[in-house]
Amino acid sequence: MKILMAGDIVGSPGRTVFASVVTRMKADGRVDFVVVNAENSAGGNGMTMKIADDLFAAGADAITLGDHAWNQKELLTTIERDERVVRPSNFAPAHPGKGIVTVSTDWGPITVINIIGRVFLKPMDCPFREMEKLLKEPGLGRVILVDFHAEATSEKVAMGHFLDGRVSAVVGTHTHVQTSDARVLKKGTAYQTDLGMTGPRDSVIGCKKEAILHSFLTGLPVRFEVASEEVFLEGVLIDVDEKSGRARSIKTVREAL
């Protein structure tokens, strides 16, 4: 089966290109199952359940989040409305929602896991120990997809090797910069350090570059606004053997409207 894992959606331009590209890819038979990170989909700042509903209608099968999960406060009280929206599992126990979901499909159950890193980010529970715990849960699918939302490339690479042979794919999100290291690791796990961004490339990680440059040059705070030019969906396309859960191949994706 063919799985698309798409990088962080940024604002309405990202939502538009996601809907366009995923609709096209599913109609062409290029994609069977879609996971997307949407933690920046609401004006570049969090997500709402209305946006989640629109992304599901556009073809998403599961949505992951990250360190900006609660920037739109309404999500604190609405996230549990749809179990296909997952937030990092190693958030503190008091956080609403869950970090894992198993979705029923024509190819059998598919499990999607969202975890967050600790290097250069706010303190969280250990993502490595969290993965050990999650992989012992009953009812997991043979196909297991992990979105590791992390800043440090070393932490992401380490997680890939840690989970090699135990999950179908480990991909990184958060930096909005697509890396060129897509590969199938030795024991059959597809890996890429960062999926990139579903949003405007003529920008600084999705925001209007003039404001960001002004901030860097002056040290003064500025209001970040989502850019709108050169909009692409970035991510990876993974071919997985649904019987064994092993990845056959992984290919970087960058596709425009």
Task: Report d(CA 195, CA 156) in Å as an integer.
Answer: 12
Task: Report d(CA 245, CA 47) in Å as an integer.
Answer: 30
| 59 close to 23: Cβ distance less than 8 angstroms | yes
Task: State phi, psi for 13 to the nearest 5 degrees.
Answer: -60, -40
- Decide if 68 is catalytic: yes
Task: Report d(CA 207, CA 109) in Å as an integer.
Answer: 37
The residue from 68, 149, 174, 176 that is catalytic is 68
What count of other Cβ atoms lies within 10 Å of the Cβ of residue 185?
Answer: 17
Task: Report d(CA 111, CA 147) in Å as an integer.
Answer: 11
Task: Report d(CA 255, CA 234) in Å as an integer.
Answer: 7
The two beta strands, 33-37 and 62-64, are parallel
Which residues form the catalytic set?
Answer: 68
